[in-house]
């Protein structure tokens, strides 16, 4: 995941944080003084918070550089964990419709550490994805679930989607 996201400025709405992801084109608009970004998965404009900026850039990375099919990705998919409604930032399925990659996105100023790893792992008790990832747009971590032991193995990057058969 090399390259830098180009900083964009729109109508005095502020500068978006440069990310450690390949450059991509995102549709931005001014909605009454509030910056919005088009989410191609949900097919609508959403408020461009720092976390949303990371989510949209990481989605483009998955689709444009790792071969993930947009039609097999869910964004902010709701599920229940310990009787509370939770949301998966990004959930990519394999070609058979099984959960493949669960991604937790944080704002660029939020460090990725053990608390984030634990959060994704807890969510995965319900979701059951083979691979897990956490990103703040600057640092990215990916690990796989080892089914035999229930342990985790950290990877050097996000697996390409073609490994999801």
The pLDDT > 90 percentage for the chain reads 68
Average pLDDT in the 63-89 region?
86
pLDDT for res 27: 94
Query: How much is the mean pLDDT over the chain?
Result: 87
The whole model's pTM is what? Answer: 0.87
Q: Of all helices (H) and strands (E), which one includes residue 107? A: none
Cα separation, 90 vs 78, whole angstroms: 11
Instruction: Name the token pair of 76.
Output: 């902010």
| Bridge partners, residue 36, by sequence | 29, 47
The pLDDT > 70 percentage for the chain reads 87
pLDDT for res 108: 96
Average pLDDT in the 15-26 region?
90
Tell me how far apart the 2 most distant CA atoms of the chain are, in Å. 53
> For the chain, which domains are there?
51-164 (3.90.1570.30)
pLDDT for res 11: 40
């Amino acid at each position: 995941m090399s390259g830098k996201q180009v900083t964009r400025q729109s109508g005095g709405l502020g500068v978006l944080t440069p990310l450690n992801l390949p450059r991509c084109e995102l549709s931005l608009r001014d909605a009454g003084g509030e910056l919005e970004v088009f989410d191609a998965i949900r097919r609508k404009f959403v408020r461009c918070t720092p976390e949303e900026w990371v989510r949209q850039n990481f989605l483009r990375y998955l689709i444009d550089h790792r071969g993930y099919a947009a039609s097999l990705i869910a964004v902010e998919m709701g599920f229940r964990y310990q009787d509370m409604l939770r949301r998966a930032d990004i959930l990519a399925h394999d070609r058979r419709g099984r959960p493949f990659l669960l991604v937790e996105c944080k704002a660029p100023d939020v460090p990725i550490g053990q608390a984030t790893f634990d959060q994704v792992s807890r969510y995965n008790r319900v979701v059951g994805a083979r691979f897990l990832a956490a990103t703040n747009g600057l640092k990215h971590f990916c690990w796989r679930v080892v089914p035999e032991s229930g342990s985790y193995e950290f990877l050097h990057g996000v697996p390409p989607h073609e490994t999801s058969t």
